Structure 1
Amino acid sequence: MRDRQRTVEWQVCGVCNYDCSYCIQSKKSRVGHPSPDEVERFLAFFATLPGRWEVKMTGGEPFAFRGFMERIVPGLVAGTGHTLSVLTNLSAPQSILGRFAELTRGRLGIVSASIHLEHVDIDAFVEKASFFRARIDPEARMVVNAVLVPGRLDAVAQAKRAIEGADLPFFPQVMKVGKGVHEYDDGDRARMDGLIGLSRSPRKVNLAPSYRGRLCYTGVDYFVLTQTGDGWSCRTARRFGEGYLGNVHAGTFSRRELPERCAYDICPCTVPANRGMIEGVGAQAEEG
């Protein structure tokens, strides 16, 4: 197994300023954020993680939570040696994005910018993404994610052309539903090849594959952390109510000591695969 990049995916808040029809998160979960005291406990927890981790911050929409820029980002930069990454819909004002770029100078890993065509104009989004990329740490990587929404793949193809025309990496994602993926009809499947490309690598596309039976270090060198402080070995385990690691606020959180064989038929995101957590799958991705 190749080198692993220890990573925690932290859902810093539930609140999101978008309401996408295809969002896999339920509406009832897209609310709320940690209190100031809980933010401080999170920061104290991250300071105890041994070595250098990648803290990939997700939501909801992280920038929609005021405490994200006021305390979380400065606190992680000043109080830990970890690498910071972020998944964002890029709706924050340019002034806020510029401030984020300044704060994370020398510490930023990956910016995953999601384009949601129900809410944004393609050209305006690409312009903002280009603005942000020009200001983030030169050593950091940036990719634009897009969900392959059924019946709307012509619009996704238009977005792909604009994104790649601005020299930004385009990262397509099959649409997830419940505990699986959407069944595309024949018309959409005919369009998929052009959007996905020849590579089926998790570095280039999220096809939500199965790694059942493979040795997996999720829960050991990778875990998911929710805004309430609950830790889970991976996203799929959480959906099945399995892989619970405890709560950081309650002081009960504990990582597994040894890897286990994957027991699931879907790996909904590419982060574990691209950080070297899964047997036989490459590490150190450029996207995701």
Structure 2
Amino acid sequence: MAHQLPILTNTWSPEPQPLEDDGAAPPWPHQPTVEWQVCGQCNYDCSYCIQSKKYRVGYPTRDELDAALDFLNGLPGQWEVKMTGGEPFASRLLLDHIVPRLVAGSHTISTLTNLSASTKQLQRFAALTHGRLGIVSASLHLEFTRVPDFIARLELLRDHAHANARFVVNMVLVPDRLAEVAAAKREVEAAGFRWFGQLMKVKRGLHPYTAAQMREVEAIIGDLELATRTRSANMAPAYTGRRCWTGARYLVLLQSGDAWACRTARRHDQGFLGNVVRGQVELRPGPIRCPYSICPCTVPANRGMIEGVAR
């Protein structure tokens, strides 16, 4: 029997409207954040990747990157710019152009990477971002790397980064590889890194784990209800009806220059904020009430964008 997990449906609903009387920013502390897809290209081809292979390609031109960088560096105050992909280090302009321009601004720099970059590239990234590096979310994919090699690269990056930088290892809880995931978690934690598990996603929501598989998942991450409350794993909870500041203090910026309020809104073809290449991006003036039945991305909640969910 399959374990019942949330399903993300694409049934149409009206575009959520900002609430006019709640102010433009969530209660502090929160961290305004942009997740920026610096390129689509990925050098891995994981069997469980939620993104279709045809979309895991592409590099923005230098002019397109500059339009995005102008927009990011023009955001008021201090935001966190989390560079994603594809694989960010697949961009030939990452270290020579993108990071130096970000460092010239005022924002914190984070990244989501599979750590396949060369040791020389990782050392240079640490040097360029020294004092400005926020979080390195390192994705461990057992189909393409060995755990000891992965940990060695992460240790190298940690050793060359400044002391306040944070590191977390993400792993998908692949249903037929849960024993390997459990072993990898033990190695990661023994090396002194935080491990973060993610339920496997499919196009319509979450993979339908069997009851036996969910027992293995619980053995890895602990009590499922507690993991949901503490966000110690990505359990794709629902925040339906809560005030949410995505689109106002958080957004997703694609390599095309399109800006979206959040990933779920984009999947529903809602929350489009404009395009930075065309110079037409307008953030929401305030929060909305979340209309969606699943929040598959942990970043908005972890950055304080969701009512009742502290950072």
Tell me what 1:257 maps to. 285
SS in structure 1 at match of 2:72? helix
Question: 1:182 pairs with 199, 203, 207, which one?
Answer: 207
Give me the TM-score of the superposition, normalised by structure 1.
0.96
Cα shift readout 1:151-175 (whole Å, capped 9, x = no counterpart): 1100100100110110110000001
Amino acid at match of 2:149: A
Letter in 2 for 1:17: N
Secondary structure of the 1:151 match is helix
In 2, distance between residues paired with 1:179 and 1:215?
A: 24
Calculate the TM-score normalised by the size of structure 2.
Answer: 0.89
Query: How far apart, in 1, do the equivalents of 2:189 and 2:30 lie?
Result: 29
1:173 to 198, 204, 223: 198
| C-alpha spacing 1:212/1:149, structure 2 compared with 1 (3 Å) | same
Question: In structure 1, what residue type is equivalent to 2:102?
Answer: L
The yes-or-no answer on 1:121 pairing with 2:163 is: no
Identify which of 115, 132, 136 aligns with 1:90.
115
Which amino acid counterpart does residue 198 of structure 2 have in structure 1?
Answer: Q
* Equivalent residues, number: 282
Q: 1:202 to 1:222 in 2, by over 3 A?
A: farther
Matches within 5 A, 1:155-170: 155-170=180-195
Indicate which of 69, 75, 78 corresponds to 2:101: 75
Report what 1:241 is aligned to.
269
Other-structure match for 1:275:
303
Alpha-carbon offset, residue 186 of structure 1? 2.1
- Alpha-carbon deviation of 1:52? 0.5
Q: Find the counterpart in structure 2 of residue 208 from structure 1.
A: 236
Q: Which has the higher contact order (CA 8 A, sep 6+)?
A: 2
- Look up the match of 2:4: none
In structure 2, C-alpha distance between the alignment counterparts of 1:38 and 1:202, rounded to whole Å:
38
Unaligned runs of 5+ in 2: 1-26
Superposed CA RMSD: 1.1
Are 1:137 and 2:165 matched, yes or no?
no
Deviation for aligned residue 1:74: 0.8
Distance 2:53 2:100 in 1: 29
Looking at structure 2, the residues matched to 146 and 174 of structure 1 have their Cα atoms a distance apart, in angstroms, of 9
Q: Deviations over 1:80-127 (max 9, x none)?
A: 100000000000011100000000011111000000010001111112
Q: Could you tell me which amino acid in structure 2 is paired with residue 265 of structure 1? A: S
C-alpha distance after superposition, 1:167-206 (max 9, x if no partner): 1100000011113111111221111112112441454211
Counterpart of 1:150 in structure 2 is 175
Instruction: Tell me the distance in 2 between the aligned counterparts of 1:81 and 1:202.
Output: 30
Q: Runs of 5+ in structure 1 lacking a partner?
A: 284-288
1:226 corresponds to: 254
SS of 1:23 mapped into structure 2: coil
**1:18 maps to which of 33, 37, 44:** 44
Structure index of larger Rg? 2
Alignment identity in percent?
A: 56
Q: CA deviation at 1:2?
A: 4.5
